[in-house]
Structure 1
Amino acid sequence: MIISPMQAHKRDLTAMRRRNFLKLGAGAAMAMPFVSRSWAQTNELTIANFGGDAVEATKVAYGDPFTKETGIAVRVDGASPLPGKIKAMVDSGNIVWDVCDGDGFTSEQLGKAGVLEEIDYSIVNRSMIRPGFVFPYGVHTYSYSYVLAYDKTKFPNAPPTFTDFFNTAKYPGKRTLWKYQCGATEPCLLAAGVKPSEIYSIAPEEHLKIALEKAKSLGNDIVYWDSGADSQQMFIDEEVVMGVIWSSRAANLEKDTGGRVTWTWSQGLFCPGAYVIPKGAPAGKDAQRFIASVLIPERQIVALEKLAQGPGNPAAEALETDAMKRLDPGFAPNFKQQIARDEAWYAKNYDTIAAAWFDGIAN
Structure 2
Amino acid sequence: MMEKLYLQPLTLVAGPQLVDGDALRIAGGLAYAREFALVVVRDGVVISRDVTTPRGMDDAIARLPAGLASEAIQQWADLQIVHAPLKMGERVIRLDQPQIMGILNVTPDSFSDGGKFLDDPEAAHAHAADMLEGGAAIIDIGGESTRPGAAAVWEGDEVKRVVPAVERCAAMGAAISVDTRRASVMKASLAAGAHLINDVSALRHDPRSLGLAANSGAPVVLMHAPGEGEDLHCKAGYGNVVFEVFDWLRLARDRALAAGIARENIILDPGLGFGKSVADNLALMNALELFHALGQPLLLGVSRKRFIGALSNEAPAHERLGGSVALALRGMQAGYQLLRVHDVRDTVQARNVWRGLRDAAVTDFGGLVA
Question: So what's the TM-score if we normalise by structure 2?
Answer: 0.26
Question: 1 or 2 for the larger relative contact order (CA 8 Å, sep ≥6)?
Answer: 1
